[in-house]
Structure 1
């Protein structure tokens, strides 16, 4: 995946506002509209742009609690990890899941409306997985920074 300065400018703009029209985007990055459209299409086809989403305020959607859950599996085996990953993909409360190194095997970001909803998630997802040795939950008190944009400077 080879991207140049113009591609970086396109990506930086789209990370801020992916609803910008192609005409405006082309003007911002110094291309003709057809050339700009062609580049955006290539960035999508090559998997550099992997999705377009609307980011919703969780509080307005009724989810007011964010919890960080660190999970340690019973054994270090690929089949156990695969089963866990599949269960997490089905859990709508989990907004992010990372397989990590260190003391824990996975780190989850869980968003729910209240502690009762979190307890229900724990019972349904974590307590039913016999391959989990332990998990640790931290409650987020405040969001200091949240972004989906990645730094494109090189």
Structure 2
């Protein structure tokens, strides 16, 4: 369900996605509104679920997790309880950065991070080999990070 957003909401969302650490004064200067109005607007966006959180982006090389993997997972059975069970396991594992439920050949696409191949092998045991409902999984090793982000393009729509 699309929220009703006005021009100020769109500006705030784009600015906060660019830099969530901006002060209310900085955000106000960019919109021509008062800091108190900006604060109310941001609170409303949070309460309506448009803004779902604030994150810090960490350089994986600098924290010892330089490897990224794209894993396509096929389940044996696609019953709702089985899909939910796999989803919960992926959500709980800190090495799984993103988990998408898909149409097509694979049922899930996971974006995973690891310190090395041994670390990734442990993940495969936990998530795939120990789950009797995983039919198969195919892994691609990311050779280079060319664009990484979670920004959603926000614009006014008619």
Q: Normalised by the shorter chain, which TM-score bucket? A: over 0.9
Q: CA deviation at 1:104?
A: 0.4
Q: Match for residue 95 of structure 1?
A: 97
**What is the alpha-carbon root mean square deviation over aligned residues?**
0.8
Q: CA deviation at 1:58?
A: 0.9
Q: Distance in 2 between matches of 1:110 and 1:11?
A: 27
Q: Match for residue 64 of structure 2?
A: 62
Aligned pair 1:40/2:42, yes or no? Answer: yes
Q: Distance in 2 between matches of 1:132 and 1:123?
A: 11
Q: Distance in 1 between matches of 2:126 and 2:12?
A: 43
- 1:138 pairs, out of 135, 140, 148, with 140
Q: Match for residue 26 of structure 1?
A: 28
> What TM-score, normalized to structure 2?
0.95
Structure 1 outlier segments of 4+, above 6 Å: none
Q: Distance in 2 between matches of 1:9 and 1:18?
A: 13
Q: Distance in 1 between matches of 2:26 and 2:104?
A: 46
Q: Distance in 2 between matches of 1:61 and 1:24?
A: 31
Q: CA deviation at 1:25?
A: 0.5
Q: CA deviation at 1:66?
A: 0.2
Q: CA deviation at 1:144?
A: 1.4
- 2:17 pairs, out of 15, 18, 23, with 15
Q: Match for residue 3 of structure 1?
A: 5
Q: Match for residue 124 of structure 1?
A: 126
> What TM-score, normalized to structure 1?
0.97
Three-state SS of the structure 2 residue aligned to 1:14 is helix
Three-state SS of the structure 1 residue aligned to 2:74 is strand
Q: CA deviation at 1:89?
A: 1.5
Q: Match for residue 77 of structure 1?
A: 79
Three-state SS of the structure 1 residue aligned to 2:83 is helix
What 5-or-longer segments of structure 1 have no aligned partner?
none
* Post-superposition CA distance 1:108-137 (Å, at most 9, x none): 001000001001111122100000110000
